[in-house]
């Protein structure tokens, strides 16, 4: 995947309520950056959070789909891993 610095910028037109625009302008002024940079940073943060939520949802669905036998096996592996980590870290 190309780095973000090599990707071309695209110009978008959006309609946003005035109170949100005022907040964006205030942030841009405080940071000394253009409004478009504030918007890009906010959107990038939102995208990352959305991806994280999707992964968390998939993980939850996986664990909810486990049978009782699989849950017990998972608990046993977690206990073994915790004991191993304790031995490793404590010498």
Q: What does the pLDDT look like over 45-68, one tens digit per residue?
A: 999 999 999 999 999 999 999 999
**What distance in Å separates the CA atoms of residue 55 and residue 53, rounded to the nearest whole number?**
5
**21-42 tens-digit pLDDT:** 999 999 999 999 999 999 999 9
**What distance in Å separates the CA atoms of residue 23 and residue 19, rounded to the nearest whole number?**
6
Amino acid 91: pLDDT: 72
For helices 35-65 and 18-31, the axis angle rounded to 10 degrees is 110
Enter the pTM of the model: 0.67
**What distance in Å separates the CA atoms of residue 51 and residue 35, rounded to the nearest whole number?**
24
Calculated CA dihedral for residues 72, 75, 76, 79, nearest 10 degrees = -160
């Amino acid at each position: 995947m190309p780095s973000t610095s090599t990707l071309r910028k695209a110009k978008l037109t959006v309609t946003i309520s005035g109170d949100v625009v005022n907040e964006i302008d205030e942030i841009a002024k405080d940071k000394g950056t253009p409004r478009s940079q504030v918007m890009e940073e906010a959107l990038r943060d939102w995208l990352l959070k959305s991806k994280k939520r999707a992964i968390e949802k998939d993980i939850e669905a996986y664990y909810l789909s486990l049978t009782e036998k699989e849950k017990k096996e998972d608990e046993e592996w977690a206990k073994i891993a915790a004991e191993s980590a304790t031995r490793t870290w404590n010498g």
